[in-house]
């Protein structure tokens, strides 16, 4: 504070030759000039407030959004994720309208249409019918990649929603109640954490093995969701631990608000920043896990496809028909990158430490 | 502006029995279990508060002022805190013996609190309107629209200009003084019988301080509510309170009607505090300060806790706990030499 104030340099004080020096100089070397800026601001504030001027404030979210838009990688991620989501949702329908092909359509003359390279007709001439070629059953690969995107994104989003629901409430309750209950709840999390979650998922999936492909997908949602909430619970608990000692919580308690209401109406909204960031970063992680499980044969079963199962199919023929691996693999990689960029961008945008920007 | 405030008041007078004590605290003891041992944050405090009266609690940081008041509405964090003994009779009922759900019905409805830092005591993620509506919906059973118009009314009452449009703002869009006004609006929206203001002006500019104090005073007068004003600023309590309690190391050191305490303090600590208030008329010189610093409440000395800093401490002070001497009907002092100090104060000419 003191360093900001202008000081009188020493040489100004020296009497100039020929002039009578001031008998009692009002400033001496190193004196601090008090301009009383604080007071002036306070008064202006009061006057403005009393006139009822609305001092336009930028809300936290608008502020964060502005910072997010400044981050090119995050914007890139956002755009790519948006495109892939839209394409996955609408793509298969459009393809069906244009070519009559569905992701699980196996042509009757399989031998002729099997594993056609991209942008080619079965006879080797150029064709738009299969922009990504076909798989070894003769199914249109683009349609399958897009439909696989549906499943992959859905797994990511639903598992993340489950983790949000369970993780946030579990962590918030543990953090707020504290003491023995907190200890008990968090040790349970530790126990679950110490088990390799892949194995939990595999066990869940093999014990409750479903007969239908759709049933298998639902199981996958449940299995991934049930393990992905652990870290979320820890993050939220940590946030709540610091928030619950803030005065606004005490103020809320002093007005007679009940404990559940304090936790979920007053405290949880305040944890949203880190929660959003972590949720965004959970989506790619879960998608990767899903791909891994499908790769091992535990995930999505044909005729449904996910990026993981498509990669598995593709890897069997990697030497001869590389596009069967490359297209789903690239799409997945691009999506995961984008989601991670977006997550990083959100973290930077919502992190109060970065607010100096 | 003040006339506008008064015009906006829609409170009914609640004063029914002015002679009865609204609040009576008897031998309240609140201890904290820390790694350092047992901290006796509040150790045997007793006082009465009549309806419509204002009580000031003065003391240095860590003297137990805030803990006393959190104990009254049972908001002591537990663990580590626990109320060891005592009674808090509010309107005849012992709050410390009530069920949690019943205490919750009293909090905000009949006893309201204002906190020190208006910057942190409003939820940054909730609109002002929602925070104000929550209380009346909870305690007065207001519908949404009732609560909303009541919220606007309350903001007008506490002198927030253009309340109708500001009510939907977020706390960060308000300045510190305005936020404290919002806090006061929140505290008063259920017309509480007791308002506890815990250092309500400490975090504010001097100019705003006066406004806020004036506001509390005006609202108090028109609602007939009792007020407990906690502060470390003697200047604040002087014009505001009827009675004063001076706390030190969790104990009541002196208790008296405000005018009497200022005119004739009966305790060396109080005298020290009074001397520490800078006198603007005096020529610039050394400011008086009480030597030393407040004691570690976890390891209090055997005798009087103030003895190491006290200028008139004698041998007895360091090994015998002082008595709580009654000087007049309403004037008490915790000191071995209370009578002498009191006599000295009488002979001293005070401006």
Q: Hey, is the C-beta of A253 within 8 angstroms of any chain B C-beta?
A: yes
Q: What pLDDT sits at residue B276?
A: 80
pLDDT digits (tens, 9 = 90+) for B173-214: 888 888 888 888 888 888 888 889 888 887 777 787 888 888
Q: What pLDDT sits at residue B7?
A: 45
Contact (CB<8Å) A55/B116:
no
- Residue B309's closest CA among B332, B296, B292, B289? B292
Report the distance separating Cα B54 and Cα B213, nearest Å: 12
Q: Hey, is the C-beta of A40 within 8 angstroms of any chain B C-beta?
A: no
Q: What pLDDT sits at residue A28?
A: 52
pTM assigned to the model:
0.72
Question: Strand, coil or helix: what is B249?
Answer: coil
The strand pair at B21-34 and B81-90 is best described as: antiparallel
Comparing alpha-carbon positions, the chain B residue that sits nearest to A38 is B205
The strand pair at B37-50 and B21-34 is best described as: antiparallel
CB-closest option in B126, B169, B175 to A45: B175
Q: What pLDDT sits at residue A173?
A: 92
Report the distance separating Cα A171 and Cα A164, nearest Å: 10
Which residues of chain B have a CB within 8 Å of the CB of A243?
none
Tell me the pLDDT of chain A (357 aa) as tens digits.
444 444 444 444 444 444 444 444 454 555 544 444 444 444 444 455 455 444 444 566 777 788 888 888 888 888 888 888 888 888 777 777 777 666 666 666 656 666 666 666 666 666 666 666 677 766 777 778 888 888 888 888 888 888 888 889 999 999 898 888 888 999 998 888 888 877 877 787 778 776 677 777 777 777 777 778 888 899 899 989 888 888 888 888 888 888 888 888 888 888 888 888 888 888 888 888 888 887 777 777 777 777 888 777 777 777 777 777 777 788 888 888 888 888 888 877 776 555 444
How many A×B Cβ pairs under 8 Å? 98
Owner of token pair 């200047």: B235
Angle (CA) B31-B200-B123 rounded to 5° is: 85
Which residues of chain B have a CB within 8 Å of the CB of A42?
205, 207-208
Contact (CB<8Å) B104/A258:
yes
Our separate counts of H helices and E strands in chain B read 13, 12
Contact (CB<8Å) A258/B139:
no
User: Which sign does the torsion angle of CA A84, A90, A95, A96 carry?
Assistant: positive
Contact (CB<8Å) A248/B166:
no
User: CA torsion, points A34, A38, A43, A45, in degrees to nearest 10?
Assistant: 150
Q: What interface predicted TM-score (ipTM) does this complex get?
A: 0.79
Q: What pLDDT sits at residue A126?
A: 66
Contact (CB<8Å) B116/A247:
yes
Tell me how far the alpha carbon of residue B220 is from its chain's centroid.
14
Contact A280, A346 (CB under 8 A): yes
CB-closest option in A42, A248, A266 to B207: A42
Which residues of chain B have a CB within 8 Å of the CB of A272?
125
Q: What pLDDT sits at residue B284?
A: 67
Q: Hey, is the C-beta of A97 within 8 angstroms of any chain B C-beta?
A: no
Contact (CB<8Å) A54/B173:
yes
Q: What pLDDT sits at residue A47?
A: 52
pLDDT digits (tens, 9 = 90+) for B109-152: 888 888 888 778 888 888 888 888 888 888 888 888 888 888 89
Contact A174, A241 (CB under 8 A): no
Q: Hey, is the C-beta of A127 within 8 angstroms of any chain B C-beta?
A: no
Comparing alpha-carbon positions, the chain B residue that sits nearest to A270 is B125
Residue B35's H or E segment, with its range, is none
Which residues of chain A have a CB within 8 Å of the CB of B183?
251
Lowest mean pLDDT among A122-131, B52-61, B82-91, B102-111: A122-131
């Amino acid at each position: 504070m003191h360093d900001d104030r202008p000081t009188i340099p020493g040489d100004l004080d020296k009497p100039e030759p020929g002039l009578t020096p001031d008998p009692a100089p009002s400033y001496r070397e190193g004196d601090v000039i008090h301009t009383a800026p604080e007071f002036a601001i306070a008064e202006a504030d009061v006057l403005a407030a009393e006139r009822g001027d609305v001092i336009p404030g930028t809300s936290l979210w608008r502020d964060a959004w502005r910072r997010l838009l400044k981050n090119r990688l995050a914007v890139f991620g956002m755009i790519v994720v948006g495109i892939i989501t839209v394409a996955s949702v609408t793509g298969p329908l459009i393809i069906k309208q244009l070519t009559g092909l569905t992701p699980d359509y196996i042509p009757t003359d399989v031998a002729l249409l099997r594993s056609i390279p991209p942008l080619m007709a079965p006879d080797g001439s150029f064709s738009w019918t299969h922009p990504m070629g076909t798989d070894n059953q003769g199914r249109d690969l683009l349609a399958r990649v897009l439909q696989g995107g549906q499943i992959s994104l859905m797994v990511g989003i639903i598992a993340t929603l489950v983790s949000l629901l369970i993780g946030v409430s579990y962590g918030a309750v543990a953090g707020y109640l504290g003491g023995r209950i907190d200890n008990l709840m968090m040790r349970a999390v530790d126990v679950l954490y110490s088990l390799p979650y892949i194995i939990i998922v595999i066990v869940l999936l093999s014990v409750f093995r479903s007969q239908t492909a759709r049933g298998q997908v639902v199981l996958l949602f449940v299995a991934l969701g049930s393990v992905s909430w652990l870290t979320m619970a820890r993050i939220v608990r940590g946030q709540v631990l610091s928030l619950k000692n803030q005065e606004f919580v005490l103020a809320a308690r002093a007005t007679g608000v009940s404990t559940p209401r304090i936790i979920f109406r007053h405290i949880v909204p305040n944890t949203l920043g880190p929660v959003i960031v972590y949720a965004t970063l959970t989506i790619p992680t879960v998608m990767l896990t899903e791909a891994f499980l499908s790769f091992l044969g535990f995930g999505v079963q044909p005729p449904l496809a996910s990026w993981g199962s498509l990669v598995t199919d593709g890897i069997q023929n990697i030497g001869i028909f590389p596009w069967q691996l490359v297209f789903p693999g690239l799409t997945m990689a691009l999506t995961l990158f984008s989601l991670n960029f977006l997550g990083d961008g959100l973290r930077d945008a919502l992190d109060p430490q970065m607010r100096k920007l | 502006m003040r006339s506008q405030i008064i015009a906006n008041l829609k409170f009914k007078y609640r004063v029914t029995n002015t002679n009865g004590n609204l609040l009576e605290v008897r031998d309240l003891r609140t201890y904290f279990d820390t790694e350092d041992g047992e901290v006796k944050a509040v150790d045997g405090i007793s006082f009465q508060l009549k309806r419509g009266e204002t009580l000031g609690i003065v003391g240095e940081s860590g003297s137990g002022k805030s803990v006393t008041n959190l104990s009254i509405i049972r908001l002591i964090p537990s663990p580590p805190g626990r109320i060891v003994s005592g009674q808090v009779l509010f309107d005849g009922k012992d709050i410390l013996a009530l069920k949690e759900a019943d205490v919750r019905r009293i909090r905000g409805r009949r006893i309201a609190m204002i906190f020190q830092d208006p910057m942190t005591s409003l939820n940054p993620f909730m609109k002002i309107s929602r925070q104000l509506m929550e209380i009346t919906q909870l305690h007065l059973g207001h519908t949404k629209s009732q609560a909303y118009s009541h919220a606007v009314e309350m903001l007008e009452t506490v002198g927030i200009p253009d309340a109708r449009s500001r009510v939907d703002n977020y706390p960060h869009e308000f300045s510190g003084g305005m936020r404290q006004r919002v806090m006061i609006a929140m505290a008063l929206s259920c017309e509480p019988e007791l308002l506890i203001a815990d250092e309500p002006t400490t975090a504010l500019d001097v100019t705003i301080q006066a406004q806020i104090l004036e506001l509390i005073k005006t609202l108090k007068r028109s609602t007939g509510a009792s007020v407990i004003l906690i502060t470390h600023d003697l200047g604040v309590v002087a014009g505001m309170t009827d009675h004063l309690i001076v706390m030190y190391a969790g104990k009541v050191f002196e208790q008296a009607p405000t005018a009497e305490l200022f005119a004739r303090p009966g305790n060396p600590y109080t005298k020290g505090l009074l001397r520490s208030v800078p006198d603007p008329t005096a020529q610039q010189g050394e400011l008086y300060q009480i030597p030393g610093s407040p004691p570690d409440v976890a390891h209090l000395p055997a005798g009087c806790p103030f003895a190491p800093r006290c200028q008139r401490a004698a041998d007895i002070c360091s090994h015998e706990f002082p008595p709580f001497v009654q000087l007049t009907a309403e004037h008490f002092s915790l000191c071995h030499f209370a009578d002498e100090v009191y006599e000295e104060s009488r002979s001293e000419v005070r401006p």
